[in-house]
Chain A
């Protein structure tokens, strides 16, 4: 069974800490994405990557950075965590192959609380 695995289900961090959220996929997908999900706002794209060492800003990149050193791994970094970054973070991957019509495959999410 193909999977996107996020390293933590729940995290509690202090304001000002540097936070790393890790995501690994085993489907050899080219594309990887980081979203945050907040009530009433839906899923908002933070960053995405179409290839190793490649990254592009999404709709809300401020306060975040990413790293993709290997095809299967995409990391989201909160440089200095703030309380307004408390949210559910979802990682997803997808293939550029047109015979895979699933859109994205999502991880289970990381619930981050910044105190």
Chain B
């Protein structure tokens, strides 16, 4: 059974204080690892897809990396508008996504 564990559950940052979110996974036949951002009361929005160990993707202040067992989402010099819940999901051969419980990030000005 595919398993995805995200840590920490919650992260409180001061504006400009860089940090990282962790997503560890167990899956047979990884097709892709996905990061989503979810604002309160809304559906998740796509951020990144990573396919193989060593791959990195960047978007503004966010950078996602992938190893064979985990992925990291690095937030560099965060701003209050980066406050959200960040979800990690893995996709195996059957096209279904298995999600972690998410990390809720709060950035204070």
Q: Interface on A for B, CB 8 Å cutoff?
A: 4, 31, 33, 35, 40-43, 45, 48, 50, 90, 92, 94, 96, 101-109, 111
A106 touches B43 (CB 8 A): yes
List the A side residues contacting B102 at CB < 8 Å. Answer: 42
Extra pairs beyond A102-B46, A104-B97 (20, CB < 8 Å) = A31-B95, A33-B96, A35-B99, A40-B101, A42-B87, A42-B100, A42-B102, A43-B99, A45-B96, A50-B95, A92-B43, A101-B32, A101-B49, A103-B32, A103-B36, A103-B49, A103-B89, A108-B42, A109-B42, A109-B43
Interface of A is mostly: strand
A31, A101, A102: which has the most chain B beta carbons within 10 Å?
A101
Q: If the complex has contacts A45-B96, A103-B32, A104-B97, are A109 and B41 also in contact, measured as CB distance less than 8 A?
A: yes
A69 and B100 alpha carbons, distance in the complex (Å) = 31
